[in-house]
């Protein structure tokens, strides 16, 4: 798999630890998935988050290509679905009913899941590499 952001990077045969974390916030009825990939060799000491943009969170094929490229460059890499699954359009999660915005999901996409994923990844990286 090639790194779509840097085509000169070949991401093939990389050995890594794939850690999946699913969590919830008490009383919210949510289910948020994160994935963190940790290179087994040549870790450069830095994390890199991948995926998302506009109204899309970060757990889909293009994100995985970016994560593979980051691994090839020695990064520990992470991504989240923000609790929105693989929705490519906000139609699936943005409204509770016509004209009634799902503010909880909007906050998850825009800030909460980003903070949570960063904290989870930092802890995993610290625990894995010491």
**Domain definitions of the chain by residue range:** 16-129
> pTM of the prediction?
0.89
List alpha helices for 1-130, DSSP H.
61-72, 103-107, 113-129
Digit-coded pLDDT (tens) for 65-98: 889 989 999 999 999 999 998 888 888 899 999 9
**Each residue of 21-72: pLDDT tens digit?**
999 999 988 999 999 999 999 999 999 999 888 888 888 888 888 899 899 9
pLDDT category at 126 given cuts 50, 70, 90 is very high
């Amino acid at each position: 798999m090639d790194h779509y952001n840097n085509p000169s990077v070949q991401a093939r045969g990389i050995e890594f630890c794939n850690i999946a974390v699913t969590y919830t916030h008490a009383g919210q009825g949510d289910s948020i998935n994160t994935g963190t990939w940790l290179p087994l060799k040549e870790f450069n000491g830095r994390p890199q988050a991948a995926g998302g943009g506009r109204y899309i969170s970060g757990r889909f094929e293009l994100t995985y290509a970016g994560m593979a490229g980051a691994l090839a460059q020695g990064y520990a890499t992470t991504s989240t679905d923000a609790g929105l699954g693989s929705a490519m359009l906000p139609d699936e999660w943005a409204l509770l009913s016509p004209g009634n915005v799902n503010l909880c999901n909007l906050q998850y996409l825009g800030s909460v899941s980003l903070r949570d994923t960063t904290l989870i990844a930092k802890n995993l990286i610290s625990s894995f590499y010491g």
